[in-house]
Amino acid sequence: MRIKRITDINEILKCLPFEREIRKKGRDNSRESDLLLFIESQLDNHAFGFWIAYDDDNEVIGYAVAMLNFVPGVERLHLLRIYAKTKELRQEFEKIGKEWCKPYKIKTMQMTGSNKKNIKAFQRMGWKVVSVNLERRI
């Protein structure tokens, strides 16, 4: 297995089958086209990262997407997506995120859970709930 940081949108398109699976399971309701436009707009941003994991046959087996937040007082790595079918791959992505943060002295990793089932799963992996997001339509 190898993991590589990607800046080529054509390589990122190989992750679309996984994104479709995520949407089919109801874990994301955003449009793929909006996601791709966002990713493409961020590829030159040093605070944005997209990593793909490949197996020995060069097939995509997972990916991670993250952004660094440099706002004073809330500096952190925000994980936007991790798709990893194994615990080991998820841990590798998290290790890469930690290494990416070191030069910036960022010590907090954050993610947003979309439902109680996902939150409980991440709590079993060592994440803790630290805040509640509230929203309303405008």
For the chain, give the mean pLDDT. Answer: 89
Q: Indicate whether 15 pLDDT > 70.
A: yes
Q: Which domain holds residue 119?
A: 2-124
Question: What value does the mean pLDDT take over residues 20-47?
Answer: 90
Q: How much is the pLDDT for 58?
A: 94
Structural domain contains residue 135: no
Structural domain contains residue 131: no
Structural domain contains residue 96: yes
Structural domain contains residue 66: yes
pLDDT band at 129 (very low <50, low <70, confident <90, very high): confident
pLDDT band at 116 (very low <50, low <70, confident <90, very high): low
Q: Which residues, 6 or more positions from 56, have their beta carbon under 8 angstroms from its beta carbon?
A: 1
Task: Output the CA–CA distances (angstroms, integers) from residue 42 to 4, 17, 20, 112, 130, in the order listed.
Answer: 17, 21, 21, 20, 28
Q: Indicate whether 59 pLDDT > 90.
A: yes
CA–CA separation, 82 and 86 (whole Å) = 11
Domain count, the chain: 1
Structural domain contains residue 64: yes
pLDDT band at 126 (very low <50, low <70, confident <90, very high): confident
Structural domain contains residue 12: yes
Structural domain contains residue 132: no
Range from 22-31, 55-64, 129-138 carrying the lowest mean pLDDT: 129-138
Could you tell me where the DSSP H helices lie in the chain? 9-12, 16-24, 32-42, 87-101, 116-124
Domain of 18: which CATH number? Answer: 3.40.630.30
Structural domain contains residue 133: no
Q: Indicate whether 76 pLDDT > 90.
A: yes
Could you tell me where the DSSP H helices lie in 13-115? 16-24, 32-42, 87-101
